Structure 1
Amino acid sequence: MEIARWPLKQVQWPERTRHGQRVILLAHGGSLQVADAAAFDAWRVALGHSDGWVVRAQLHWRGVLLALVLLLGLLLAGYRWGLPWAAVQVVRALPAQVDEALGQEALGYLDAHLLSPSSLPAQRQAELRAALDQALRAMDAAPVPWTLHFRAGVPGSETLDPPSASSTDTPSVEPTDEGGTGEGKSTRGGIGPNALALPGGHIIVTDELVQLLDGRDDALLGVLGHEYGHVRLRHGMQSLARLTLASAAVSVVVGDFSSLLGAVPLLLAQMDYSRHAEREADAEAVRLLRANRLSPEAMVVFFERMAARQPARRTREEGGLPIALSSHPADAERIRFFTEAARP
């Protein structure tokens, strides 16, 4: 009987475990199974083979606990710093056409489910567009493309009358066919007094917000400057990229990425910005107001009037859309920021 021999360096030794037999993998694809694990471990030690630190850690609960803590810390660090960094890099590589396409999809979703045509007079819409255009040009010599949309902050219904010519939505930069007669829309939800920014330069302001800030166009310009900040800094795309990257990582485990792609318009419409992004947008509002010789303290009026109607505001559980103002830093913190920015 011929005895087979293999150099030790060609033998793959099994890791030591608390239970089970030992299996030695051989170079030609065969294996040796050793039922007496304790005897094998003693023989292996006698040959001068010792366990690595990973194996030793796995055999003790302290090592396993430490590994779990380190893994959790790594995941949290990746979510806190790695994911935002990766999202910024992804967005930088995307052309503006992607922003526009996704923005149109999200706008269509909002029009179908949460908004209805504006009843604001056409003259008032034109005044606000002109005021925002002038304010942005005073702040930036060449503002990024934007379009200001006026909508009612309540969903339409099948009985809603078609919009008249006085409430058509004429974009400020390039014509956009947005339609929107309100027919067949959901009667649930609504966003009330609000303003929000979508990818592609789309800024939406509701009739309710215009009415809430009646007589204080400086405060309204500050709010629109905040939303323009989201547009200029592409916060919407960064939020979507961050959410998509996180969901893609999960889909690697669960194996269903197609459903995520189909939900992109809904995700865009409902996502929150990070607190860091909101602070950046607040800084843009201050920059716009200062460039137009307006006091940043005008934004305090906005918070005061929103606070006055606080009992009537919908919560997320009641069907309100978690966009725009809902994800901002605490009002007291923001009021302090704008008050300090108004000081000489």
Structure 2
Amino acid sequence: MSAVAAATASPHVEADYFDGRQARAHRVRAHVSGGQLYLRGNGIALAVPLAQVQWPPAGQRGARLAHFASGASLQCADGAAWDAWAAASGLEASMVARVEGSWRWVFGAVAALVLLVGSLYVWGLPWLSRGVVALVPLSVDEKVGEVALESLPDGWLEPTRLPADQQQRLRAAFDRAVAAAFVPGEAPAYTLRFHKSGLGPNAFALPGGTIVMTDELVTLVAGREDAIVGVLAHELGHVRHRHGMRALVQVTVLGAVSSLAFGDFSGLFAGLPVLLGHAGYSRDAEREADGEAIRIMQKAGVSPEAMVVFFERIGAWADEKAAGKAGRKEGERKPEPGQAREESLLGIAFSSHPADAERIARFREAARAMPTPIGR
């Protein structure tokens, strides 16, 4: 059979050809033969290798559009006619086209993307932040901590009302605990500040070693030195492991990625110092700081059971505050312990912390593991 006869006998379809240079369509008849796509029309006579054609998936609604490697394209308004011709010609859509036309593939791709993004957020970002912070000198932590402290809103921190002798006793108790827990020269530098605050009973650490404890927290635990030592040891854990700087790196990376994805870099860096002043740490960072508190307390001979007092009292305070804020009517059932929490709590009582029950169990277990002094 001659080439002309073969071309006449081959299945064909009417379509519009666009050369990729002009918007004008050229009406052509398309057929496949010998690994080539032939296009014939008024002033058009082309042979395009099938390998250079990206075929549309069959079964989709609307027109069919095939793309050529040269930038040209072939469009057929009659999807059914195109599909019948493609099937008769033995044509298959490209893998990309088949994926785009399959809801299963699309759903799978979206699920894989979500899994990838989630994995990067949960494991990749913390790993990156550790690596970046390891390269940052401690002097940067100090500067960032200073800026963060200065950037806290007016009225958050007021001069302490604690008696000077009480402040001195608490400082001395914590200093002794740190000295017992670290080899001389290896303890992280820290500065302890007492403040009356509208934040309520709380404590938080800033990069560079500034640890803030509110008068309200001291009052909440009735001035118990062992509980104060435990809370401060927890905050020193944040300082030692540079959790504040790691959180800053993570927020910066997330902000940069969001800005790249959605635009608008405005305010990205301007808000970071303030963010450091009131952002909670991740649950993993909190568990790490709890571990540091346990270690320091055990080394200093202070029972970690003292932290249970803190958690129970801060929990009761938060529940009472949340219930009052909600305006519970007389006779309404009170929330279960730990059910309601003040969302704006900072530092050690922040809502991103592990559940109180988990932490209480850990400190109680650590207390049981301490050796009992002879004579008791």
**TM-score band w.r.t. shorter chain:** 0.7 to 0.9
Do the aligned partners of 1:87 and 1:245 also contact (CA within 8 Å) in 2? no
SS at match of 1:273: coil
1:120 to 144, 162, 175: 162
- 1:220 offset after TM fit, Å? 0.6
1:145 correspondence with 2:189: yes
SS at 1:150 equivalent: strand
In structure 2, do the counterparts of structure 1 residues 254 and 322 end up closer, same or farther at CA, with 3 Å as the change threshold? farther
Match among 365, 368, 373 for residue 340 of structure 1: 365
Matched, 1:24 2:48: no
Which runs of no fewer than 5 residues in structure 1 stay unpaired? 154-189
**1:3–1:311 distance in 2 versus 1, CA, 3 Å:** closer
* Paired AA for residue 300 in structure 2: N
Counterpart residue number, 1:167 = none
State the 1:261 CA deviation. Answer: 1.4
Is this contact kept in 1: 2:55–2:92, CA < 8 A?
Answer: no
Corresponding residue of 1:326: 350
Match of 1:241 in 2: 249
Match of 1:102 among 134, 138, 144: 144
> Higher strand fraction: Structure 1 or Structure 2?
2
1:45, distance to aligned residue in structure 2 (A): 6.0
Query: In the TM superposition, what whole-angstrom CA distance separates every residue of 1:132-168 from its partner, at most 9, and x where no partner exists?
Result: 2332122122111211111112xxxxxxxxxxxxxxx
What is the root-mean-square deviation of aligned Cα atoms in Å?
3.0
Pairs aligned (count) = 306
Mapped to 1, the partners of 2:207 and 2:164 lie a distance apart of 25
Deviations, residues 112-133 of structure 1 (Å, cap 9, x unaligned)? 2412121223343333333323
Distance in 2, matches of 1:270 and 1:317, equals: 21
Structure having the higher Rg: 2
Partner of 2:220: 212
User: How far is 1:260 from its partner?
Assistant: 1.9
Aligned partner letter, 1:303? F
Letter in 2 for 1:87: S
Distance 1:64 1:336 in 2: 45
Identity in percent: 45
The gaps in structure 2 that reach 5 residues or longer are 1-42, 327-341, 370-376
Query: What residue in structure 1 maps to residue 295 of structure 2?
Result: 287
Equivalent-residue separation in structure 1 for 2:44 and 2:99 (angstroms): 40
SS at match of 2:152: helix
Letter in 2 for 1:70: A
Taking the aligned partners of 2:180 and 2:236, their CA distance within structure 1 comes to 14
Which residue matches 1:87? 129
Q: Which amino acid is the alignment partner of residue 335 of structure 1?
A: I
Identify the residue that residue 156 of structure 1 maps to in structure 2: none
C-alpha distance in structure 1 between counterparts of 2:166 and 2:172, whole Å = 10
In the TM superposition, what are the counterparts of 1:170-319 in structure 2 within 5 Å?
Answer: 190-313=198-321
Using CA pairs under 8 Å that are at least 6 residues apart, name the structure with larger relative contact order, 1 or 2. Answer: 1
Residues 248 and 257 in structure 1, CA contact (< 8 A), matched pair in contact too: yes
Q: Relative to structure 1, is the Cα distance of residues 134 and 261 closer, same or farther in structure 2, using a 3 angstrom cutoff?
A: same
Q: Structure 1 CA distance, aligned partners of 2:145 and 2:325?
A: 26
Instruction: In structure 1, give the amino acid aligned to 2:217.
Output: L
- Report if the CA contact (8 A) 1:22-1:37 is conserved: no
Aligned pairs for 1:42-53 (under 5 A) are: 49-53=91-95
Structure 1 residue matching 2:199: 3-state secondary structure: coil
Q: Which amino acid aligns with 2:65?
A: R
For 2:355 and 2:281, locate their aligned partners in 1 and report how far apart those are by CA, in whole Å.
Answer: 14
**Alpha-carbon distance in structure 2 between the residues aligned to 1:90 and 1:108:** 25
- Kindly provide the CA deviation profile for residues 242-293 of structure 1, in whole angstroms up to 9, marking residues without a partner as x: 2332232222221012322111122212222122211111111111111111
Contact 1:314 1:320 in 2 (8 A): no
The aligned amino acid for 2:57 is: R
- 1:150 and 1:207 in contact (8 A); partners too: yes
* Residues 194 and 213, structure 2, Cα contact 8 Å, conserved in 1: yes
Q: Could you tell which deviates more after superposition, 72-81 or 286-295?
A: 72-81
2:147 and 2:207 map into 1 onto residues whose CA distance is 10
The whole-number CA distance in structure 2 between the counterparts of 1:59 and 1:203 is 57
The answer (yes or no) to whether the contact 1:192–1:206 under 8 Å persists in 2 is yes
Aligned partner of residue 191 in structure 1, secondary structure: coil
Distance (whole Å) between structure 2 residues aligned to residue 278 and residue 151 of structure 1: 23
3-state secondary structure, aligned to 2:260:
helix
d(CA) in 2 for partners of 1:331, 1:77? 26
